[in-house]
Amino acid sequence: MWVWPSPIVLLLEPRQVALFLSVGSFAYAAISAVGSIVVARLLGPADYGAVSMALIYPMMFSGLADLGLSTAVMRFAALGDAARAFARRLRASGLA
């Protein structure tokens, strides 16, 4: 389901949006790392290993779930009307 972008994001320039997304990604990685350390300290080596083994397949398949769709949506949204018109022509020609 597509969600309209926030009005704040629409007022920013692309480089500001890129910086905003980069800071968000870095914060997510930092919080995940700290969370992993805390969980490892609370569970101990044996239990943390069991949790890690249980999460192998969900983590492996979560990367495949997207299959580049979010990247394609951002790319075509950034290109604007010209890309949408091209996609319509491509669909109308039967190539896609």
Give the model's pLDDT for residue 22: 85
The one-letter amino acid at 47: D
Say what the pTM is: 0.51
Give the model's pLDDT for residue 27: 92
Distance CA 43, CA 38 (A): 9
Distance CA 18, CA 20 (A): 5
**How confident is the model over 75-94, as pLDDT tens digits?**
766 666 666 677 677 667 76
| Higher pLDDT among residues 70 and 28, named by residue | 28
- Please compute the mean of the pLDDT values over residues 62-74 and round it to a whole number: 70
**How confident is the model over 3-53, as pLDDT tens digits?**
555 555 556 677 777 787 788 889 999 999 999 899 999 999 899 899 889
- DSSP run (H or E) holding 16: helix 14-43
Across 14-52, b (16+ Cβ under 10 Å) vs e yields eeebeeeeeeeeeeeeeeeeeeeeeeeeeeeeeeeeeee
Query: Where do the domains of the chain lie?
Result: 14-54, 67-96
Give the model's pLDDT for residue 33: 92
Give the model's pLDDT for residue 30: 95
- Say how many CA atoms lie within 13 Å of 60 toward its Cβ: 6
User: Is the dihedral angle over the CA atoms 8, 10, 15, 19 positive or is it negative?
Assistant: positive
